[in-house]
């Protein structure tokens, strides 16, 4: 006899696990399915540095996650954006917006451990792992059948709502037959921990270059979180560089604002992709997080946006009789539209500016940054996005939601 679940979340990564917490807080029992076994965190909880927007920090505090971080988070009090070889730069200060910080830098591995520790406290959340989504069965009587395979073979689950939180290559999205728009920016991003002469002091630096961004994020452990983008054609060569030569290369791209680069940790490479689902709902199914949209990491928006997908869904389900009703799913798509569209356009625009080698673009880009630094209304728009306040903001994102 197949088990029946109200809300079946496929994917216990950053967004899926956060959704389970938000549903639990709303009194809704969720079942969280992940391909990774209980003893191993999903691979996505790795050494990447995540900038949590202010709205995200508020929500994760209300959900009891920020309090469980073992390593201190690094506050982003100012954002400094400039372009290699161009005139102009932007400096945004959180104090100008009445805030202590735009957000916090957290290492994904630490975030995973904090989520896990919080989930372990909630008896209502059911975990199925290792359990891999294999496909759908029947769709009848207000229930969708799901086939999963795991340690004890294949089994069938039934759910009133299936949530696809299974990441960029979402098998759930494919099984639903939802098409995607895909763009490969032909860049590889190297992420590493970096120590420099000057320790972080609350400034996040984003240096835009022809082949990708170089960002230094102020971690809470006295080191920087480095992201260095290189053209795909050069990526293997850069991966093979000795640490010293890698640091020389990055210092050349970034400059001296953080002093001399002293020591770099292990480098992890990531592709830079945009994968956008053409629709985010189907009958008794909804896509959230990277399954719905994967963005270039340059704007540090992917998880922040995905969390807002999840929180909006939890809000709608909290007050509903049927979590998979067509009207609820339509309301979700409608409420997410503005934030999704604007955040996608922002991240894509930033990514394309860094990738363009057209000489005529240079003065325009420089002017853009210089102008932005002088026009408070434009800055406020940028800062609002950086803090995660776009569109119809979920209640948990507001200050004091806890």
Structure tokens given for 379: 């800055």
Structure tokens given for 366: 């420089």
Q: Rounded to 10 degrees, what is the CA torsion of 2, 309, 303, 200?
A: -140
Tell me how far apart the alpha carbons of residues 192 and 48 are, in angstroms, rounded to a whole number.
8
Q: Which stretch binds ligand FAD (CB under 6 A): 34-42, 60-68, 235-243, 317-325?
A: 34-42
C-beta separation of 69 from 118 below 8 A: no
Q: Which of 7, 44, 62, 204 binds ligand FAD (CB under 6 A)?
A: 44
Tell me how far apart the alpha carbons of residues 162 and 106 are, in angstroms, rounded to a whole number.
29
Here's the x/- map for ligand FAD, 111-150, by CB under 6 A: it reads as: ---------------------xx-----------------
Residue 23 or 86: the one with the smaller Cβ distance to ligand FAD is 23
Q: Does 224 bind ligand FAD (CB under 6 A)?
A: no
Residue nearest to ligand FAD (CB): 13
Beta 285-287 vs 281-282: how paired, if at all?
antiparallel
Beta 30-33 vs 3-10: how paired, if at all?
parallel
Residue 88 or 161: the one with the smaller Cβ distance to ligand FAD is 161
Query: How many residues in the shown chain lie near ligand FAD by CB under 6 A?
Result: 35
The single-letter DSSP state of residue 73 is P
Q: Does 48 bind ligand FAD (CB under 6 A)?
A: yes
Residue 88 or 302: the one with the smaller Cβ distance to ligand FAD is 302
Distances (CA, A) of 31 to 65, 148, 161, 163, 219: 19, 13, 11, 10, 33
Q: Does 51 bind ligand FAD (CB under 6 A)?
A: yes
Q: Calculate the CA 129 to chain-centre distance.
A: 23
For residue 400, count other CB atoms closer than 10 A to its CB: 7
Site for ligand FAD in 369-398 (CB under 6 A): none
Which residue in this structure is represented by tokens 């992709």?
273
C-beta separation of 343 from 305 below 8 A: yes
Q: Which of 8, 9, 15, 114 binds ligand FAD (CB under 6 A)?
A: 15
Site for ligand FAD in 242-301 (CB under 6 A): 270, 289-291, 297, 300-301
Residue 88 or 212: the one with the smaller Cβ distance to ligand FAD is 212
Structure tokens given for 178: 């939802």
Rounded to the nearest whole angstrom, what is the least distance from the CB of residue 132 to ligand FAD in the complex? 4
Q: Does 324 bind ligand FAD (CB under 6 A)?
A: no
Q: Does 74 bind ligand FAD (CB under 6 A)?
A: no
- What phi and psi values does residue 184 have, to the nearest 5 degrees? -105, 120
For residue 394, give the H/E element and its range. Answer: none
Q: Does 167 bind ligand FAD (CB under 6 A)?
A: yes
Q: How far apart are the first and last CA of the chain?
A: 40
Rounded to the nearest whole angstrom, what is the least distance from the CB of residue 358 to ligand FAD in the complex? 26
Q: Which stretch binds ligand FAD (CB under 6 A): 68-76, 249-257, 303-311, 326-334?
A: 303-311
What is residue 101's three-state secondary structure? coil
What is residue 285's three-state secondary structure? strand
Q: Which stretch binds ligand FAD (CB under 6 A): 41-49, 136-144, 151-159, 373-381?
A: 41-49
Q: Does 213 bind ligand FAD (CB under 6 A)?
A: no
Residue 10 or 178: the one with the smaller Cβ distance to ligand FAD is 10
Bridge partner list, 149: 132, 154
Rounded to the nearest whole angstrom, what is the least distance from the CB of residue 214 to ligand FAD in the complex? 13
Q: Which residues make up the interface to ligand FAD (CB under 6 A)? A: 10-16, 33-36, 42, 44, 48, 50-51, 132-133, 165-167, 171, 189, 191, 270, 289-291, 297, 300-304, 306
């Amino acid at each position: 006899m197949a088990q029946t679940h109200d809300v079946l979340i496929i994917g216990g990564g950053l967004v899926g696990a956060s959704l389970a917490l938000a549903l639990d807080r709303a009194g809704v029992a969720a079942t969280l399915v992940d391909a990774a076994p209980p003893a191993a965190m999903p691979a996505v909880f790795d050494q990447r540095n995540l900038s949590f927007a202010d709205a995200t920090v508020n929500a994760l505090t209300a959900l009891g996650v920020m309090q469980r971080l073992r390593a201190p988070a690094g506050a982003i009090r100012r954002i400094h954006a400039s372009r290699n070889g161009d005139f102009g730069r932007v400096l945004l200060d959180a104090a100008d917006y009445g805030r202590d910080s735009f957000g916090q830098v957290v290492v994904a591995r630490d975030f995973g451990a904090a989520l896990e520790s919080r989930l372990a406290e909630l008896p209502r959340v059911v975990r199925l792992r290792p359990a891999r989504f294999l496909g759908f069965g029947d769709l009848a009587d207000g229930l969708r059948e799901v086939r999963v395979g795991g340690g004890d073979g294949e089994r069938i689950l039934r759910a009133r709502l299936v949530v696809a939180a299974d990441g960029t290559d979402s098998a759930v999205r494919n099984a639903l037959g939802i098409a995607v728009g895909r763009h490969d920016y032909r860049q590889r991003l190297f992420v590493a921990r970096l120590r420099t002469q000057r320790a972080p002091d609350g400034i996040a630096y984003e240096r835009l270059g022809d082949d990708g961004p170089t960002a230094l994020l102020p971690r809470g452990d006295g080191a920087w979180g480095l992201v260095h983008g290189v053209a795909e054609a050069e990526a293997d060569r850069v991966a093979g560089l000795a640490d010293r030569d890698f640091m020389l290369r990055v210092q050349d791209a970034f400059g001296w604002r953080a002093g001399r680069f002293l020591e770099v940790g292990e480098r992890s490479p990531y592709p830079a992709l945009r994968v956008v689902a053409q629709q985010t709902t189907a009958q008794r199914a909804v896509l959230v997080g990277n399954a719905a949209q994967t963005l270039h990491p340059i704007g540090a928006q992917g998880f922040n946006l995905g969390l807002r997908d999840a929180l909006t869904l939890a809000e709608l389900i909290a007050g509903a009789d049927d979590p998979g009703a067509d009207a609820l799913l339509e309301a979700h798509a409608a409420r997410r539209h503005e934030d999704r569209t604007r955040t996608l356009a922002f991240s894509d625009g930033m990514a394309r500016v860094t990738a363009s080698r057209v000489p005529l673009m240079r003065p325009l880009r420089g002017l853009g940054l210089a102008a932005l630094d002088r026009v408070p209304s434009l800055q406020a728009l940028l800062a609002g996005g950086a803090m995660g306040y776009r569109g119809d903001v979920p209640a948990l994102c507001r200050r004091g939601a806890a």
